[in-house]
Every structure is written in structure tokens, then in C-alpha cells.
Structure 1
Amino acid sequence: MKKCNSNSSIISELDFKIKNVEKYISHSKYKEDMINKVEPYLKKKLENGYIIGEKGLKLYYEKFICENAKANIVICHGFGECTEKYYELIYYFINEGYSVFIIEHRGNARSQRLGIDDYQISVDKFSYYIEDFKKFIDEVVIPNGNDKKLLLFAHSMGGAIGTMFLERYQEYFSGAVLSAPMHEINTGKVPKFVATSIARIMKLCGRGNQYLPGQETYNGEKRVSARSTSCKERYEYQFNKVKNTKSYQTGGSSAGWYLEGAKVTKEMVKKKNASKVKIPILLFQAEYDTHVMPRGHYKFAGYAKNCRVIYIKGSKHEPYFEIDKIAFAFIERVLSFYSEIIN
């Protein structure tokens, strides 16, 4: 199996023993347990608020503080997501003794929107995500972190934001999990150079704020075969949450967002940038991911000083939201990694 560098390796599949399966929420009773167990538990611990991000944007966040916490986990979510998408994961983190902090990025969920309608994801500069994230950590996480270590959990687009943050600000985190990080965008059947050319032409014609071809506004339609997870129960639960909560509803991206994303993904995997990341990194790559390309993962891992890539056999884009045998093994590996860092 290919080696990325002396500290990095590619593992053929995620094979990790689940020590106590009873602590997990099974898809067999998923909706029932989320409503009767997880949601009430988190509601008691939830504190929320807003910060003012770059260019004066109002950004929503949530925090869950554990008494005598082991450390602090900061979640950096993916494209079009909201805090509730991570409630199952947050539940596990809290039960393991971690305080958890999560912010909804600009243009997503309850944070201020930026698109041409109420649903489009757009951004003027990708770097605003990073500076928003830093402000959140400086103003909310650190003052409530009781001087304990900071650990990052970053997924997909959040993985790109988290990676750029780690490259710019090396002094904050002690370790990071990158879940299917957006180190290279998967443009599907359309070649990357074609997608980029179309987006550039749109921007030159003053239409950079329009939906990129193939992208569309939120329409409330259910996908028969979800692109991001194989777990019907988790997908259905989240689908209904979004359908019934207008602020959670998001559509596709603008041409401008795509150009910003494509530009930063090229930069973050370059040696001069990735080599600045010296903390332990656990990077998960999903076998059936149709959102991001694995090539970017290998480039980043090859230059980062201490990055291990784990290939998750059978998983789609969201391993933390997959069928039980994948999700539970994934979470066990994440918890083991965090434990190694703080002990």
C-alpha cells in the first residue's frame, strides 16, 4: 500500500473493535432514540448565541459545556449543514467527557445568508470562513474552554476550512480529524477544467452570483438514493428536520462559491502550506465519495508532518452518519485518536 511520508499511511479499510455498542444510537430505533434520548439530553446542556464575523455578518453558534471536561472539541461542518446534523456525534462526544463547540458558517442555516435567494450557498472570499472560525474560537471557545486542549473535527467543506485554519494558525489545536475533507472538489461527469471554465465565464459576464449549472435552489424533494449516506434511517430523520425548519434549508452553490472553493483547494495541498501542519491528523477517506476526490487527500497527507489516511470501505461521503457498522467503527477510531492526544 502506498506511503504518503514517514508518518503517514493508507489503511485499506476501517477495522476497529467497538467496545460498548450499547452506548450508540442504532438505526433500528433511530428516530425514537434521537427524539426521546438525545434531543432532551442535549437541550439541557445547550447554550447558543451569535458572533459578528468578517464584514459584519451575524453567525450562529452552539456550545455544550461538560463539567471537568477532558478537552474541547470544535466542529467545523460541511456544505449546507446545520448544528443539528451533528447532534448524534455531539451526544457521543459529551458522554465521553468533552465540551463541544460548533458554529454555522456564513451563508448556512441560521447564520446570515449571502446568496441570490434564501437557499443558495455563496461566499465572496473563502478566507472569510477561516477568519470567522478564528473569531469563534477566540471569542467563544477559548473563554469557555477552561484552558483544556482544543481538538478539531472538520467534515467536507469544513475540512477545507479546518485545513486552511491549521495552516494559518498552528498554535490553536493539539490534533484534528478531517472527515472526507474538501481537498479537491469532485465535479462528477463534468471534467474539472470545464466546470471551472464555465464558472469563470459566468463571473466575467457578471453572473458569478448565479447558480452554477447543475446546481439549484432548495426544492424539498427527497433523493431516492442519498449521495452522502447509505443509512436510510439517519437520512430520513435529517431530511424531515430540514423540511420542517426553513432556516436549515439550503440549495446548491453559486458559480462564485465554486471558483473560491476550487482556488483554495489547490493552495492548501501545496507543500509550502501543508507542511506547516505539524499536529497529529487523522484523515478519513470514504470509498464511495462523490463529493470530494481522494487525490487531494494524498497530496495534503504527503506534505503534512503527521497525517494518517484511513480509507473507509463501504462508506459514502458522511462516515459519521452512515449505517451502524461504519458509523460506530468510525466514531470509535475518532475517540481513540482524541484520547491518545490528551493522555
Structure 2
Amino acid sequence: MSKSKNEKSNIIYEDGFFMGKNEMKIFYRSFEIESSKSVIVISHGIWESIEKYREFIKTLNKNNYSVYIMEHRGHARSGRLGIDSSQINVEDFNYYVEDLKTFLDSIVVPNLNNRKLYLYAHSMGGAIGALFLEKYNNYFEKAILNAPMMDINTGKYPKIFSKVISKLFCMIGLGNKYLFGQGPFNANPDLKESGTSSDKRYNSYFYKQLEHKELQTAGASFNWLNQSFKGIKEIFKEENIKNINAEILLFQAGKDLFVKPEGQNKFTSLVKSCKLIKIEDSKHDIYREKDEIFKKYIEKVLEFYEIY
């Protein structure tokens, strides 16, 4: 564990590891504002890392929120599970949820000091966050689910085909193979197929990935897809979804390439306190879209967290 303080911004940074499920080392970082009244925990999406959220976190810090974020198993500086350093894999989707609980119990809550605790969960992290809110409903008062992974866009392959094939590959011992059309990190930029339409923000993170091998995550395994389908199925079980106590704001991206809106619409209709806002012109990563989208978006984010 290491601590440092930025005297100019009055932020205390802490890096460290904790032991997740199955003795997996999980990396985290905290951005503490000494005068903050609230703490936001970020649950990131597939292929992501803390570094991808630096600008977003800086914005939250400027608005007097302390931020805690972990890198999910198989990602960045946390323990890896793929067949190479690029691949995303997971043993059981619920391990993501249990890691988040351990993070909260061992790192976040002991430092809460009676402050309010909020969740910000994006994409895959949104599915993790939704499951957490169902299973452990006494941690977060409010949660933002940002383009949550509740219906995966399986591209040219129909969803039923993808479900059957991913399950079959796992059954015959090929679950660690890359999904069709996916593979190791590609060192050629591709803004068009990315989650943002912002050249500036895309390039900022992409060139950071080129410099730091631990950020070079890319394709997923059949096992990850199979486990993700199972995780999404759990989200929509009636006995689970009725347990949610937190007030939820769900953002939907109108130009999302990675997840479909149907699952998000269904979730919103089933949860007792969930409002959906659709950002028509945004791609998947709304939190790092071009300025004309991001500025209006962050206003809505802050407004939601600030209303008690």
C-alpha cells in the first residue's frame, strides 16, 4: 500500500491490493478529498482500467466527491486469468460481485466516516453493480448504471447462437479460447469501433495503453461470455430484482455498439426506483464522450448525486 498527497488539489491518493475470491490479488486506488461529504465507488467495464477514468474522477473530485475504484479480476494490475496478457476471462461472474463486497468491507467502509456512499457502474461493471444491489442492498443509497451490460450485442451472431456456442465450448474444454473475431490487443487505433466519438479522449487512453502493457486488454474468452450470460440471467430473476433498495439512475447510449437497450428498458420497468435517461447522440462510453455530450451528461450525474 502506498499513499501520496497532492497539496495543490488537496487529494490524498492511495494504491494497494486486497485478496479477492480464490486468493486473487485485486488492485485499487482511492482519491480522498478531506472535506468530502460523500464517497463514490466506481465499477468499471470490460477491458477497462483506473486510467481510463482519470478525467471523470478528476471531475468528481472537483465537485467534492471522494472516489474509490478497483480493477476487476483479469484486468490491468489485478490478477490475470486469460491465456495471454490481453484476454479477459473469469471463473464465475459472481466472483466480480464478491470482490466488490470485499473491497467495500475491507477498504471503503472503514474509511467512510459517516459519509454517504454512492455507486457509479459502467457496462460490465453495471451488470456487476446491479447484481450487487440485489444481493447486498444495504451499502449504497444511490447508484448510476451507465450503459449497463444487461443485453449483450453479439453482432452478426444471433444471441441464442452465442449462448449455445459459448456454453458448448466451455463444456468441451475450449472455454479459454478467444471469442470469434476477437484476439489480443491491437496496436492500431480504431476510433470508429470504440466506445466514444471523441478523438481527444480516445487517443488519450489509447496512447496510454501503448505505453503500459498492463492496460492492453482486448478480446474476451468463451467462458467470460458464458458467465456473463449467466450473470445477466441472475439480474432479472424476480426474487433478486425486488431486493433493490437504492435509488437508481440508468443512462442509455443511443449509439451503443456493445450492449442493446432492451435489457436496460426491462430493468427500468421492474425496479421500484429507477429512472432512465437516453443520451441519443452518445456511444457506449458516455463518461468520456465529446464535450458537447459530456458536459450535459456530467450535469445530470452531479444533479442525481447531489439531491438528498
TM-score bracket, normalised by the shorter chain, equals: over 0.9
Match of residue 275 from structure 2: 308
Match of residue 147 from structure 1: 114
Are 1:291 and 2:291 matched, yes or no?
no
Segments of structure 1 that go 5 or more residues without pairing to the other structure are 1-38
Offset at 1:40?
A: 9.9
CA spacing shift, 1:218–1:179, aligned 2, 3 Å:
same
Match of residue 65 from structure 2: 98
CA spacing shift, 1:206–1:324, aligned 2, 3 Å:
same
Q: TM-score, normalised by structure 2?
A: 0.95
Residue 275 of structure 1 is aligned with which of 242, 246, 254? 242
Match of residue 178 from structure 2: 211
Q: For residues 43 and 60 of structure 1, what CA distance do their matches in structure 2 show?
A: 23
Moved more, 196-205 or 297-306: 196-205
The one-letter amino acid of 2:174's match is R
The one-letter amino acid of 1:305's match is K
What are the equivalent positions in structure 2 for 1:41-80 lying under 5 Å apart?
Answer: 45-80=12-47
Q: For residues 237 and 248 of structure 2, what CA distance do their matches in structure 1 show?
A: 17
1:184–1:266: 8 Å Cα contact kept in structure 2?
A: no
Offset at 1:183?
A: 0.9
Q: For residues 271 and 286 of structure 1, what CA distance do their matches in structure 2 show?
A: 26
Q: For residues 43 and 77 of structure 1, what CA distance do their matches in structure 2 show?
A: 25
What is the SS of the residue equivalent to 1:65?
strand
1:75–1:103: 8 Å Cα contact kept in structure 2?
A: yes
**Which deviations, in whole Å up to 9, do the C-alpha atoms of 1:133-189 show, x marking residues without a partner?**
000011111111112111000000000000000000000000000000001111012
The one-letter amino acid of 1:337's match is F
Offset at 1:98?
A: 1.0
1:180–1:285: 8 Å Cα contact kept in structure 2?
A: yes
What is the SS of the residue equivalent to 1:301?
helix
Match of residue 326 from structure 1: 293
CA spacing shift, 1:252–1:271, aligned 2, 3 Å:
same
Q: For residues 8 and 104 of structure 2, what CA distance do their matches in structure 1 show?
A: 24
Q: For residues 57 and 167 of structure 2, what CA distance do their matches in structure 1 show?
A: 39
How many residues are aligned here? 303
Offset at 1:269?
A: 2.2
2:11–2:31: 8 Å Cα contact kept in structure 1?
A: no
- Identity of matched residues, %: 45
Are 1:120 and 2:78 matched, yes or no?
no
Offset at 1:44?
A: 5.6
Moved more, 267-276 or 88-97: 267-276
2:10–2:34: 8 Å Cα contact kept in structure 1?
A: no
Residue 183 of structure 1 is aligned with which of 132, 145, 150? 150
The one-letter amino acid of 2:159's match is K
What are the equivalent positions in structure 2 for 1:187-202 lying under 5 Å apart?
Answer: 187-202=154-169
CA spacing shift, 1:47–1:332, aligned 2, 3 Å:
same
Offset at 1:41?
A: 6.6
Q: For residues 296 and 272 of structure 1, what CA distance do their matches in structure 2 show?
A: 17
The one-letter amino acid of 1:242's match is Q
Match of residue 5 from structure 1: none
The one-letter amino acid of 1:324's match is D
Match of residue 31 from structure 1: none
The one-letter amino acid of 1:66's match is I
Q: For residues 107 and 300 of structure 2, what CA distance do their matches in structure 1 show?
A: 28
Match of residue 135 from structure 2: 168
Offset at 1:219?
A: 2.4
Name which structure has the greater RCO, CA cutoff 8 Å, separation 6+: 1
Offset at 1:117?
A: 0.8
Match of residue 3 from structure 2: none
The one-letter amino acid of 1:215's match is Q
2:191–2:197: 8 Å Cα contact kept in structure 1?
A: no
Root-mean-square deviation (CA, aligned residues, Å) is 1.5
1:42–1:91: 8 Å Cα contact kept in structure 2?
A: no
Are 1:340 and 2:270 matched, yes or no?
no
The one-letter amino acid of 2:267's match is F
What is the SS of the residue equivalent to 2:33?
coil
Q: TM-score, normalised by structure 1?
A: 0.86
1:153–1:176: 8 Å Cα contact kept in structure 2?
A: yes
Match of residue 239 from structure 1: 206
1:120–1:250: 8 Å Cα contact kept in structure 2?
A: yes
Are 1:158 and 2:117 matched, yes or no?
no
2:43–2:125: 8 Å Cα contact kept in structure 1?
A: yes
Match of residue 85 from structure 1: 52
**Which deviations, in whole Å up to 9, do the C-alpha atoms of 1:282-310 show, x marking residues without a partner?**
00000010111111111111111100000
Residue 252 of structure 1 is aligned with which of 219, 223, 240? 219
